[in-house]
Amino acid sequence: MSEHGYDFDYFVIGAGSAGVRSARIAASHGAKVGIAEASALGGTCVNLGCVPKKIMAYGADYHGHFRDAKGYGWDVPDDIELNWKTLIDNQRSEVSRLNSAYENTLSNAGVEVIRGYAKFIDAHTIDVAGRKVSADKILIAVGGKPRTPYQEGGEMMPTSDDMFSWPEKPKRAVIIGGGYIAVEFAHILHGIGAEVDLLYRGDMILRGFDDDICEHLVKEMRNQGVNVHLNCDMEKCEKTKDGYVVHGSNGERFECDLPLAAIGRVPAVEGLELKAAAVEFLGNGQVDVNEDYQTSQPNIYACGDVANQNNLTPVAIQEGHVIADRLFNAQRDRSVHYDNIATAVFSDPPIGTIGLSESQARDEGYEVKVFSSTFTPMRNQLAKKKEKTLMKLIVDTKSDRVLGLHMVGLDAPEIIQGFAVAMNCGATKADFDRSMAVHPTSAEEFVTLR
């Protein structure tokens, strides 16, 4: 029993990135902590997101690496085949290893893990698979789940959740969507040898990213052979004896063995019985919180994908950490820094981006100078690979401060992290200019742009 007369001082619903970190930190501060999880520990990132996706992206990239190696003198056969089952099995094995690591982390911290779905009985009481537990403070950290298409046949379409254990190597895939999940799976599926059609209802993929970056990526995807159909939505999906047919709003019929719905994610609040605890949520299911991550019920908090607009693992982790520090270590000054969040998209070629896009900067009233460069990376020269890299800086004319930094090309996600530190320190174009280049690299372009 906690000092407040409850079973726990702190109870966390969801053992994903936010929940595990928050539970562990709260326990380290001396709180009696419990956590509920119905699925594998680690949440979306470990089980159905970042980790398995990146592993599969690495696997897909070898197709191009083998081809490129010939230009460097490697005698690589043309008929190399991917063993899909090996990739899936090894990927799941790594995920299982991480599940165990999360379990050990919680156990070593003294957090009690209760398996099962949780639902509120009232503001201090939760039912977890038939067991009632009470807590002084409660954190909702259930994350999100894939959105299902509303069109006819949408309910039969696999989502990203299904892809990490898909039984057979796809031969032809039709992807519905234009966000980062859609373009990342276009990369993976095309890389493993499938024919890919991507249908997106808008004028351009990756809404919210810099226009030049998006246009460059579409051009490169099409050059690779990915069929990108803009201003084209799915009208319906139907099952046939040979597979599936997706009917596009452009009048085309797309036959495939994999119709993948990648139209975004929604908060996974179904079944939580939030109304029983008087927790208010928005129309899209997102839990409504204030600047302290507090819901409409003062003792209940929420963070991560279920409550924020920055659906990124590092953001969720920091939010969970901050909540625990504030509640159990009196660190009221602890906060999450949301400015200049570096973001990567593991497309092909990949994207790294920080800060404002050009249009966002202008919309916010800045007078800007734009510096950009498009070039063929050295690595691609001997490989006779036509893929180009694009780099772009958005600079405030008055202060000389760099407002946005964007890249699409080889190693962009790795390169972008260091520049995120610089931008959070208020780096100016002059700071970039006086930084010595590391030669020969692609990254040096950012400090030599004129």
Catalogue the active-site residues.
439
Kindly state the DSSP code that residue 203 receives in the 8-state scheme: S
Cis, bond preceding 440 (omega within 30 deg of 0): yes
CA distance 265 to 333: 32
Enumerate residues 6+ apart whose C-beta is below 8 A from 181: 160, 262, 264, 265
Per-residue CA distances from 365 to 51, 356, 362 (Å) = 39, 12, 5
CA distance 340 to 445: 20
Enumerate residues 6+ apart whose C-beta is below 8 A from 335: 322
CA distance 250 to 222: 18
Cβ atoms of 262 and 175 closer than 8 Å = yes
Structure tokens at 31: 């709180």
Cβ atoms of 306 and 286 closer than 8 Å = yes
CA distance 278 to 275: 5
The strand ranges marked E within 231-342 are 234-239, 244-248, 253-256, 258-261, 265-267, 300-302
- Name the nearest CA neighbour of 151 among 19, 27, 245: 245
Please say whether the dihedral angle defined by the alpha carbons of residues 81, 86, 92 and 94, taken in this order, is positive or negative.
negative
CA distance 24 to 321: 9
